[in-house]
Structure 1
Amino acid sequence: MKILDILTEKSVITELKGKTKKQVLEELIDAVLEHKPQLDRSRLMAVLLERERLGSTGIGDGIAIPHGKLKDLDQLVLSFGRSTGGVDFESMDGKPVHLFFLLVAPENCAGIHLRALAKIARLLKNSAVRKKLGSVSSREEIYSIIRQEDEDF
C-alpha cells in the first residue's frame, strides 16, 4: 500500500490556521470531507476526540497522526496538514506538532489501518523528510515530496 493510494492532493493543507487540537482536527476533517463528503463531520470529530482521550496521537518529533474508525466508510482516507508555528497537541515529547496526518478507516479493517499508521510513521521518522515537508510552500510541492518518499519505501 502506498500513502498516495489514500491521500489526494486536495486533502493537503499547506498551512493550518488552528491553534488548538480541536481546531486542527476540524481543518483536517474538512480536508477529508473534500474527498468523502458523505461522512458525518460531527461523528468523525467525536471518534477522533475519543481516541485523543485515550492518549495523544502526537508521537513526538513534531508529528501527530490522529486516527479513528467509522462504520459508514468503505475505504481508508487520509488528509495532511502543516503548521509552521506548531500546535500544542499534548505530544509524547511535550513539543509542538508541525506535521499532521489524519487517518480514517472503516470500522472493520484493523490490519490495513495499522499498516497505514506504520507506513506514515516510517515516512515521518526520517528527519530529512520532515525538514523538506516543513520548508516547501505549496500543496503541489508537499504532495510531490510525499510521492517521492512513498516510492522509496
Structure 2
Amino acid sequence: MSDTSLTIDNILAPELTLCKVPASSKKRVLEFIAEQIRQHNDSLGEGQIFNNLIARERLGSTGIGQGIAIPHCRLEGLEHVIGVLITLEEAVEFDAIDNQPVDLVFALVVPKEATSEHLELLSQLAEKFNERTFCDRLRQCEDAGTLYQRMTAASG
C-alpha cells in the first residue's frame, strides 16, 4: 500500500457507484452496500462487512445531516480502501443527527490498520458533502456514469 494520500477518485470504482437504488430501510441500505462490495471483491464476506457497518452505526448514526450518510467500518483482511457511492430512489430513515431521512450515501470500508487514512477520507467526504450545490448535482444524476463523474471530478 503506497503512502500517497488517498483521494475519493482512487477509492471509488465506477461499478461501486449506483444511482437510484431502491431501499426500504437503513438496514437494507447497509445490506446492499455489503452485497456490492462482496461482488466486487469476493475475498470478503458479505456478512462480515454488513456486521461491521451495523456495529459502527450502533456507536452513533453515520447520517451527518441534510440527507447524507457516510457509513464506514474497518475490515480485517482488507488490503485497500473501498468506497461505495449510492443515491437512493427514496430517502430512508437513518437516525441522522438532524432527523432527516437519507438519500445520498457514501460508504467507506478501510483496512483494519488504516486509521489515519480513514479519518482523512472521512473529513474529505464530509467537506464535499457540506456543499449543498454539490449534493444537489449528485442527487440530480439519472445514471451511475454521471454520478461517478460528478463525484470524482470534484476530488482533486
Instruction: Sort the TM-score into its range (normalised by shorter chain).
Output: over 0.9
**Structure 1 match to 2:3:** none
Separation (CA, whole Å) in 2 of partners of 1:89 and 1:108: 27
**Structure 2 match to 1:52:** 57
Deviation, structure 1 residue 84: 3.7
Deviation, structure 1 residue 33: 2.2
Identity %: 30
Which amino acid in 2 is paired with 1:120? L
Higher relative helix content: 1
The more displaced of 31-40 and 43-52 is: 31-40
Deviation, structure 1 residue 26: 1.1
Please tell me whether the aligned partners of residues 63 and 97 of structure 1 are also in contact (alpha carbons under 8 angstroms): yes
TM-score (norm 2): 0.93
Separation (CA, whole Å) in 2 of partners of 1:143 and 1:61: 20
TM-score (norm 1): 0.95
Please tell me whether the aligned partners of residues 69 and 104 of structure 1 are also in contact (alpha carbons under 8 angstroms): yes
Unpaired segments of 5 or more residues in structure 2? 1-5
Aligned residue-pair number: 151
- Alignment of 1:118 with 2:111, yes or no, is no
Partner of 1:9: helix, strand, or coil? strand
Deviation, structure 1 residue 127: 0.5
Please tell me whether the aligned partners of residues 59 and 65 of structure 1 are also in contact (alpha carbons under 8 angstroms): yes
**Structure 2 match to 1:141:** 146
Please tell me the root mean square deviation across aligned C-alpha atoms, in Å.
1.0
Deviation, structure 1 residue 75: 0.9
Q: Residues 125-144 of structure 1: CA distance to partner in whole angstroms, max 9, x if unpaired?
A: 11011000111101110011
Unpaired segments of 5 or more residues in structure 1? none
